[in-house]
Amino acid sequence: MSATKDKSFWDSNLWVYLNTSSARAADRIKKSKLEKLLVASAEITISVQVLNEIANVLIKKYGQSESEILTRLEALAKQTEIVALTESISFQALSIKSKYKIGWFDSLIVAAALHAECSVLYSEDLQDGLVIDGRLKVTNPIKP
């Protein structure tokens, strides 16, 4: 399996920026960069884990209601391909965690992106420029 050119996986933190408002100038700049990237992106992939992480942050940090979050997640589901977490993704995540020395939940994100044959993983949390298994490049789209 080789990664599909222009197919990207978006980490949950990016969607949180897109689905919240902030008075901080830095956050508004990040949101603007992500909005431009969103328009320019051909195929966007996420996983069920990303949906869960978004919901958790929007509830705990931003106090959004369940109905608001459901509306946001349903809209997100319409514009993305969603990867279900499976046994094989979990097993691959363990290998990735060991090989690349990254956290468990980040390893699940990476494994899901590999499973979906994405060529780029957009994330603020992982090392910008890291290439996983020679086919998935981590890119921080909102770095200063």
Domains present along the chain, CATH in parentheses: 4-139 (3.40.50.1010)
Helix extents (H) in the chain: 12-18, 25-40, 48-60, 66-79, 87-100, 104-115
Mean pLDDT within 106-120: 97
Residue 102 has pLDDT above 70, yes or no: yes
Taking phi first (over 0 means left), then psi (-120 to 50 degrees means alpha), and beta for anything else, what does residue 22 get? beta
> pLDDT category, 21, cuts 50, 70, 90?
confident
- Closest Cα partner for 46 from 116, 140, 106? 116
pLDDT at 23: 84
Percentage with pLDDT > 90 across the chain:
84
- Looking at every residue in the chain, the average pLDDT score rounds to 94
> pLDDT category, 24, cuts 50, 70, 90?
confident
